[in-house]
Amino acid sequence: MLFMQNRTGATRRDFLRRTAVGAGAALTAGLAKAAGKTILTFYMDDTNPYQVGVDAFKQFLDFIQANKLAGESSMILGFRWEEFGLISRPRTALQRAYIEQLRRAHECGMDSHMELMTHDGLLDFATGRAPRGVEHEGIWLYEPAVSVDQYEAYFGNIIKEGENIGVRFTGATWPGCGCAACTRRDAELRKNGVLNENPNLWKALLNLAKRGKFRGPTVPLFTVSDPHPTRAVAREGKFGVYDLPPHIHDNLGIWENNPARVNADAYITADGKSGAMVEKIRAGAPYFVFYGHWQGLNPANGVGWPAFKQVVARVKQHYGDRVVWMRPSALSELIHSGQVA
């Protein structure tokens, strides 16, 4: 996620419909846990094994598990495919070690979003390569000419690559790109009045959910980072697709691993009296969503990692009995049932 941050200005304000659907056992358990508390969750974009190795990801998961946190971390199976090939068709010990951690992530409390397949060009799954000059995945989600079938096939192929190595996706995050081609195409689309994703995309994701291709019946999405209301973009019976945006920009180093962009106080100050997270908790808000990037948040060299741990410790100290950490897909279940709005 880095581009198209202003797209939401024109977003259709499709507020949640609070239709109650029969609550299953997992949902009931989630509700009991959340009763009267503010649910905390987060997204971590751009997670990969190449930048700082696999041990850092293991360390991150250990921390989440030990502190009973929950959130989401991107699983990008074709990340930097030109140098390394597909993680879903592993050929190195590093990739195999990473797959082990990906398989483990869910039991540690972490969801896995596809930040699509490559975070770059559209992959030809037959060859395992993205043809030179092919359109990038992020902007393709806005292309008005793409059919439901085309979206469903592409996302379905990513899910199949995951199945081949025993990992499942819970949701999706839009891969941002500021390259010249994407910027140019974005401007063209806007000029033609295309400000939002192609609605065929929502149908395709709902179809995949109905076919049991995601881990759960509801699919949370991290689309753009500008604040906007949570919205159901597609729903049918117990299935739903939810645009579940963060409430604050990345103050954990962003994708630049930039110390000037680290600020734990933006979430919660040391005295627990202010910060965006604190405001939500004190107002009795049902949930608070934040996000970071692996570049800034990884435990090996991420400048945001100490701040993340500080936020976790502060919230535990000041509001331990008023919050509950929850994975985004569990939160989207509660929203879908109408129990959390």
| Site of interaction with Zn ion (CB under 5 A) | 1, 45-46, 136, 177, 179, 182
Cβ proximity to Zn ion, 144 vs 178, nearer residue: 178
Residue among 47 and 337 whose Cβ is closer to Zn ion: 47
DSSP 37: S
Whole-angstrom CA distances from 147 to 106, 151, 242 are 32, 6, 20
Cβ 237 to Zn ion shortest distance, Å: 32
Q: Which helix (H) or strand (E) holds 98?
A: helix 93-105
Q: Which residue, 45 or 333, is less far from Zn ion as judged by CB?
A: 45
| Cα dihedral 25, 29, 30, 32 sign | positive
- Nearer of residues 177 and 331 to Zn ion, judged by Cβ: 177
280: tokens are: 């939500």
CB of 275 to Zn ion, least distance (A): 25
Neighbours of 260 (CB within 10 A): 9
What's the rounded Cα separation, in Å, for the pair 61 and 55?
10
Nearest to Zn ion of 224, 335 (CB atom): 224
| Nearest Cα residue to 49 out of 83, 85, 87 | 87
CB-CB contact of 64 with 107 (8 Å): no
* Amino acid of residue 285: A
Distance of closest approach, residue 112 Cβ to Zn ion, in angstroms: 14
Q: Which is nearer to Zn ion, 74 or 200 (CB)?
A: 74
CB of 185 to Zn ion, least distance (A): 8
Give the C-alpha separation, 138 to 140, whole Å. Answer: 5
Nearer to Zn ion by C-beta: 115 or 152? 115
Task: Specify the residue, 46 or 333, whose C-beta has the smaller distance to Zn ion.
Answer: 46
DSSP 189-204: HHHTT--S--THHHHH
Q: Give me the least distance between CB of 256 and Zn ion, in Å please.
A: 12
Residue where the block lists tokens 């880095």: 2
Question: With respect to Zn ion, which residue has the nearer C-beta, 207 or 298?
Answer: 298
End-to-end CA distance of the chain: 25
Minimum distance of Zn ion from residue 155's CB (angstroms): 17
Query: Token digits for 89?
Result: 């068709």
Provide, rounded to whole angstroms, the least separation between the CB of residue 215 and Zn ion. Answer: 21
Shortest reach from residue 308's CB to Zn ion, in Å: 17
Q: Give the type of residue at 328.
A: P
46 to 178, 192, 289: CA distances (angstroms): 15, 30, 17
Rounded CA separation 167/102 (Å): 7
CB of 73 to Zn ion, least distance (A): 12
β-strand 71-74 against 323-325: which pairing, if any?
Answer: unpaired
